Every structure is written in structure tokens, then in C-alpha cells.
Structure 1
Amino acid sequence: MEFTASQLRILEIIKNKDKISRKKIAESLKLTPAAITKSIDPLLNCGVVLEASPRESTGGRRAIDLTLNKHWVGKILGISITPSSIVVSVGDITGEIFKTKIYQIKGDEELSCYLEEIIEKELKLEKAIQVISMAITGLINSEKGVIVFSPHYNRKKIDIRESIERKFKIQVLVENDVRAMALTEKYFGAAQNSDNYVVLNVSEGIGSSIFINNTLLSGHGFISGEIGHVVMDRSSLRRCSCGKRGCLEAEASNTAIINRLVSTIKLNNYSVLKERLNSKGSINIAHVLRAVKERDFLSTKVSTEAMVIIAHSIDMIISLINPERIILIGELFGEPLLLSTLKLELQKVTLEEQKYELIVSNMLNSMHSYNPIAVVRYNLFQKISGEVNCENRF
């Protein structure tokens, strides 16, 4: 059975909610109860949608909510590829995560071969996997499943979906990591009640994603949201991973902050991190944030300067898109002093009429586990070759 246009609209509403009643669906689509019943009954009969337990009655007939059948899709093998690691998760479309495991990427490893080894190992352990979903750092053509360019791995034009589907005979979905974060926030995080928002992710690199009018924007060439590669300082000598100088990522990412601190400490400037740097040879963002908390002057100076630059990039987002919410993802935003600096600078550069809500994501520690799950959920009822069947898609 092919889904009708009304059924697809109903399924879109249901997948955006954990549970929702027929009455709420009818109100949202401006349809009669009879029309809703006619469209929903076939979905119930073929098991795509299930009736949840009835709500407690407040008088009259108790409402029965509808929910997606997580068994219709089955288990999902999630792969999140970050600049330094591969995060593997197993879950279902309701957001239940059964396990998460992290594999570190070593500089001398060939990423494609290493990835295939990991997938083969996980598929042997998990026999019920129905789909592999991947969230990858870089420019990703999600329609074709191609890595257009990934500066952190120096890879271009890799047809990753085709190679993995051919090897493992399982359908594969591929998405950019920050666009996947926007979907995670939509289904499981701070954007569940919003259809117009922007996600800004600050980690080893910097990226953003745009969700407007209930649609995830990819842009021409699938490179929308690459704010990390907007040049913020044309006089800067700091080189970005993309090859340009003075990019937001090169000036204000975790990596940029660490690099500035290390080079400044090596010029014999004092910091509480100096001893660790001399003894261990390196520092990470957790060490920097701890130093900021202790009000180490150099760490605080470099970090707050980065937050000012980030605030100016957010000002550009607000002026161009005017989103309802801006969701911040990254360890930096968990430090009260740095978040306060960001907010104060935003107040200086934005107009009073520009209304927006600034939210720090509470999904940071589990984001990479949820990203691939959210990608599957978003793509559940997208038409493939103009046809969607009631049978299990995966």
C-alpha cells in the first residue's frame, strides 16, 4: 500500500511527537474526525502506527494517543564520525539508546577501512540491525550519501553510502553532523516545540545548521550552515582547516583557543596551565575551562575573546535568518563566565527589535549517540523514487 498525501502529513505530525491524539491531529490539519479515521486506520492495520495507553479521563470518552511503532523500523546502528573519534550507538526511532561505544581515530589509520572494520564488528554483535545511519563532520551530500569534502580527514568525493551498502547489504543514511544535531534537538532536545531555530556547535571546529518552517536546510551544494568558514578577521595569520585564514573556526573553536594558549604560554607568559603543558606536552578544553573557573588570567582572556567573536557570528545569524531560537552546543557554553560574556556582547551588537531565545543544549554529553537516530527519524517517510510503501522501509 502506498501512503496517501494525507497519511504522509499525519505521519509527519506523529513522528514529531512522542504521543498525539486523533483530535490534535485533526485540529492541526483542519480535517474532520471521519477523514482522520479513514487515513489512520490503514496505518494502524499495517503496524506503522500504534495506539498508546488511553489518557486518564477528565470526563467523557478517554482519548487514545497515537505513536510510531519502533519495531516497524527495528534497531538502528548509528555512526557519528568526529574529528578525533567514531561514536557507535544502537537505538530505535523513539530515542531509546541500547548502547554506545567510542573508537578513537589514530593518525596513521585509513578511515574507510577502519570504519568498515567497526561496522562489521558491530553487525556481528547486533543481529537485528535494520539500517545504518551516519553523521559525519564536513560537507555531506545527504541525498547521494557522498562526503563532498571533510577537511579534518582531508577527504573529497567519497561515495560512502554506496560502498557500505554494497559491502553489508543494509540501507545506509548519511548526514552532516551539525545538521544531524538540529534533528536531535527537534526530536529529543530543546527544539521539540519550535519549527524555526538555528544550532551553533562549537567544538574542535565550528558549524551551524538551520531548521526553518519545519524543514532542515541543506542549501545548494549541501553546504548551508558552514559558518565556521566565514572569515572573521582578514588580517589574521591563523590558518583554518579549510585552508583560509581568519575563519571563525580558526579564531574561536576549542582548537583555536588551545592553540592560542599554548603559543602564548611558550612565549613565557604565566598561566596555571604552564606546568601541565611542560610536563604532559599538551592541554585540552577541559583543562582550559577548569583554569577559567579558577580565574586564570591568560585562559580567561583567550576564552572570553573567543566568545566575543562567536557573539558577532551569532549576530550575523540573527540578522540574516531571524530564528525563534538559537541552540548552543559545546563545552564553552557550560562555563557561566563565558556564557555571560557571550550574552553581554550579543546585547551590544543586536537590535532591541530582534527577538530570539538563546538556549544551551542539554544534549551535549549524548549528542553523538542520538544524531544518527534523529537522522533516521527525519527520513522515515520521505519519498524514495516517488513511492513510499507501507512495508518496513529498512
Structure 2
Amino acid sequence: MDFTNSQLRILEMIKNKKRISRKKIAEELGLTPAAITKSVSPLLELGVVLEDCEGESTGGRKPIELILNRECLGNVLGISLTPTALVISVGDILGNIFSSKSYEILDTDDLIEFLKKIIKKELLDEKKIKVISLVLTGLVNSDNGVLIFSPHYKWKKVNLKDTIEKEFELPVLVENDVRAMALSERYFNTSKESNNFVVLNVSEGIGSSIFVEGDLLSGHGFISGEIGHVVMDRSSLRRCSCGKRGCLEAEASNQAIVNKMFSMIKLNNYSSLKEKLNQNGVITIEDVLEAVNKRDFLSTKVATEAMVTIAHSIDMIISILNPEKIILVGELFKEKYLLNTLKLELQKVTLEEQKYELVVSDLLDKIHIYNPISVVIHNIFRKNIWRR
């Protein structure tokens, strides 16, 4: 069945409060007790909500409070497909995370079969799973569960929702990773009270997600937020994964910084990372950030140039969307010198009247665990998928 908007608001309130009486729900929603009773009755009949008599007494009988029925709602099997691993998490829509683990992706050619194998194993171990949530990089049509395009897995027009649902006979949700990050920030981190914010994720690639008036903005074709493919330097020769040159991702992502360091060192520019590159044949973004911390000149120069470019992209976000908050996700923003560089450049290019809060996410190490659980929470309370 489809629940009414009032019922969804009641359910979300019960989730947020853990337990709450009908009287308090009526007070907070500005509705009559009779209207609340009418909305709650079907929820009780379906077993989605339970009555509990453990409320605090003010002198008389203990009030009857409403709680969500964990047994009815079951658990979520969350799967985040990163470029190198499957991150598995098991949780529930109350926001509890029960377990997590990671499987390395060794071969993208048979990734769907590998994915099915992992899901089968997890369902044997976890008997209470009632929904599967998949989060992955690339362009995702979250309404029909189709991966439009993902350069990391070389997938095009893959209907993951239908494929996994037919195999395991469980409802499946599919979402883009950066949009899921916005939901994780909303339900698990510092933006629980924010209705308008942007998440900017800088890692191997660059992407953003937009949370407006309490919901995700997907855009026409489900490709809003692809700021990584905005051309920032039209004279650049650096080719992006999308095929264009001079994109933000090609100029300022972790991989772009590493690639530039590699090229500069090979052209005999001095860096303390030269010996490491000669020994290992590769350097990582962690190597570069460590060198920045030690004030290696070349590493600092390359990373600072990237930060200036990122600042200019944030200026575009602020000017177009005027968000309440911009949340930064990525290793680069953990380095204090680089973060200060970003803030100073933003001060130069933004107007004094453009009020915004700049926040570095502290979910970085756990975000892939929270992402798929957040997608289910959002879909249940905001998109009315209870009928499934």
C-alpha cells in the first residue's frame, strides 16, 4: 500500500524520536489527536508500528508510546561498489549498523557474477535481510535502477535492479555514490537539520550532489552534480575520462595530482618523492599529501594549484545554487595547509553577501558503509516505497 503524507511524517517522527506518544505527535505536527489516531491505526494493523507502554509517567498511568517494528521492517544489505572493492554493510532503517566488511575487486569482466556470489553468501549469513541497496560510481537512474554508464566498470545501460531482484526475490534500490553521500551526511552526520546543501567529493574523480528542500536533485537524465566534467581550463591538454580536455576532474582530482607529480618528476623537477617513484614505479595521493605536510616544494605547488581550481568550482556552486552549506569529502581536505589555501582563494572570488558554511566531512573512512543504508532510509520516508 501507499501511505499518506501524514503517515510518512508520523513514521519518520517515530524513527527520529525512537519512541513517541500520539499526543506529542499531534502537538509537533499541528494535527488533532483524532487525526493522528486515524493515521496510526492502519500502521498498527500492518505491524509497521507497535504500541509500547514504557513511556515516562507524569504521575498517572504510563503513556502508550509508538515505536517502529524492527522485526517487520527487517535489515538492509548495503553494497557500495568502489573502483577497487565491494564494501558490505548490514544495518536497519533506524540507522543502526550491525556489521561491515570489504571484498577486493580483482576482475571487472565478471563483476556482476562476483556481486551475485557475495550477495548470496551474505543472505545465507544474515536471515533478516528484507531489502538490498546498491551504491556505485557512474551515472545512475535511481528510479528504475539502471546504471547508465560507469567508466570504472566499463558498464553501459545495465539494469542492476531487475537483475538482482530476479536472482534473489528481494526489493533492490540503486543509487549514485555521491548522491548517496549527501544522504549519509543528512541522516548520519552534521546535516540532520539542513535542507539545502551540496556535497563535493574529490577522490579518483570529482563529483557533487545537491540536496534541496529536503530531497536530492537528480536532474533531467539523472546526471545533475557532474561538476567534475565542467571544463576549467580550455587551454589544457589533459584529457578527462569523459573525453574532454581541461575538466575539473582532469585538473584537480587525486589522480590528476598524482599524474602531474609523475610527469613533473620525470621531467627532472626536484621532489622528495623522486626516490620513492624510482623505487616503486608509482606514487599515491597519500605520498603527495605526506610530502605537502613536510613542505616539499613541488608537491605543495601541484596540490595548491589543484586547490585553487577546486575553489573556483565551488564559487560556481555558490553563485548558482546559493546553498546553506558545502560539505567537502576527500583526503585533500584533511591537509590543513591545503584546506586553508582553499578557504583563502574562496574569500578572493566570492562576494561578501554570499553566506555559506564550509564543512569537511568526518565520515570519510566510513562513508561507503553508511551510503547504501542512507539510500534505503531516504526512499522509505521520502519516496514512499513501503508498498514494496
* TM-score, L = length of structure 2: 0.92
Aligned counterparts of 1:20 and 1:158: Cα–Cα separation in 2: 43
Q: Aligned in 2, Cα 1:139/1:31: closer, same or farther, shift over 3 Å?
A: same
Aligned counterparts of 2:63 and 2:306: Cα–Cα separation in 1: 51
Aligned counterparts of 2:57 and 2:301: Cα–Cα separation in 1: 55
SS of 1:222 mapped into structure 2: coil
Aligned counterparts of 1:4 and 1:46: Cα–Cα separation in 2: 14
> How far does residue 10 in structure 1 lie from its aligned partner after superposition?
2.3
Query: 2:2, 2:384 within 8 Å by CA — same for their partners in 1?
Result: no
Per-residue displacement from partner, 1:5-30 (whole Å, max 9, x unpaired)?
42123234444665666566435533
1:269 aligns with 2:296: no
Match of 1:43 in 2: 43
* TM-score, L = length of structure 1: 0.90
Q: Mapping of 1:13-162 within 5 angstroms?
A: 13-15=13-15, 22=22, 25-50=25-50, 54=55, 67-107=67-107, 109-162=109-162
The residue type equivalent to 1:253 in the other structure is: S
SS of 1:246 mapped into structure 2: coil
Match of 1:220 in 2: 220
Aligned counterparts of 1:133 and 1:211: Cα–Cα separation in 2: 20
Moved more, 135-144 or 117-126: 117-126
Query: Which consecutive residues of structure 2, in runs of 5 or more, have no partner in the other structure?
Result: none
> How far does residue 55 in structure 1 lie from its aligned partner after superposition?
5.6
Query: 2:8, 2:384 within 8 Å by CA — same for their partners in 1?
Result: no
The residue type equivalent to 1:90 in the other structure is: V
Q: Mapping of 1:1-394 within 5 angstroms?
A: 3-15=3-15, 22=22, 25-50=25-50, 54=55, 67-107=67-107, 109-381=109-381, 382-383=383-384, 389=387, 393=388
Query: Which consecutive residues of structure 1, in runs of 5 or more, have no partner in the other structure?
Result: none
Query: 1:238, 1:250 within 8 Å by CA — same for their partners in 2?
Result: yes
SS of 1:315 mapped into structure 2: helix
Per-residue displacement from partner, 1:353-377 (whole Å, max 9, x unpaired)?
1111111111111100010000111
The residue type equivalent to 1:258 in the other structure is: V
Q: Aligned in 2, Cα 1:70/1:199: closer, same or farther, shift over 3 Å?
A: farther
Aligned counterparts of 2:269 and 2:51: Cα–Cα separation in 1: 65
Moved more, 114-123 or 10-19: 10-19
Aligned counterparts of 2:362 and 2:215: Cα–Cα separation in 1: 22
Query: 1:190, 1:327 within 8 Å by CA — same for their partners in 2?
Result: no
SS of 1:79 mapped into structure 2: strand
Moved more, 118-127 or 240-249: 118-127
RMSD of aligned alpha carbons: 2.4
> How far does residue 168 in structure 1 lie from its aligned partner after superposition?
1.6
SS of 1:250 mapped into structure 2: helix
> How far does residue 51 in structure 1 lie from its aligned partner after superposition?
6.0
> How far does residue 263 in structure 1 lie from its aligned partner after superposition?
1.1
Aligned counterparts of 1:67 and 1:346: Cα–Cα separation in 2: 46
Aligned length: 386
> How far does residue 37 in structure 1 lie from its aligned partner after superposition?
3.4
Query: 1:55, 1:64 within 8 Å by CA — same for their partners in 2?
Result: no
Aligned counterparts of 1:64 and 1:321: Cα–Cα separation in 2: 44
SS of 1:380 mapped into structure 2: helix
Q: Aligned in 2, Cα 1:264/1:17: closer, same or farther, shift over 3 Å?
A: farther
Per-residue displacement from partner, 1:266-302 (whole Å, max 9, x unpaired)?
1122212111111111122222111111111111111
Moved more, 17-26 or 369-378: 17-26
Aligned counterparts of 1:51 and 1:250: Cα–Cα separation in 2: 55
Query: 1:201, 1:328 within 8 Å by CA — same for their partners in 2?
Result: yes
Aligned counterparts of 1:196 and 1:60: Cα–Cα separation in 2: 43
Q: Aligned in 2, Cα 1:48/1:83: closer, same or farther, shift over 3 Å?
A: same
Aligned counterparts of 2:345 and 2:33: Cα–Cα separation in 1: 51
Q: Aligned in 2, Cα 1:114/1:39: closer, same or farther, shift over 3 Å?
A: same
Aligned counterparts of 1:8 and 1:91: Cα–Cα separation in 2: 21
The residue type equivalent to 1:10 in the other structure is: I
SS of 1:237 mapped into structure 2: coil
Indicate the percent of aligned positions where both proteins have the same amino acid: 67
> How far does residue 320 in structure 1 lie from its aligned partner after superposition?
0.8
The residue type equivalent to 2:186 in the other structure is: K
Query: 1:152, 1:241 within 8 Å by CA — same for their partners in 2?
Result: no
Aligned counterparts of 1:226 and 1:186: Cα–Cα separation in 2: 20
> How far does residue 40 in structure 1 lie from its aligned partner after superposition?
2.8
The residue type equivalent to 2:100 in the other structure is: T
> How far does residue 106 in structure 1 lie from its aligned partner after superposition?
2.6
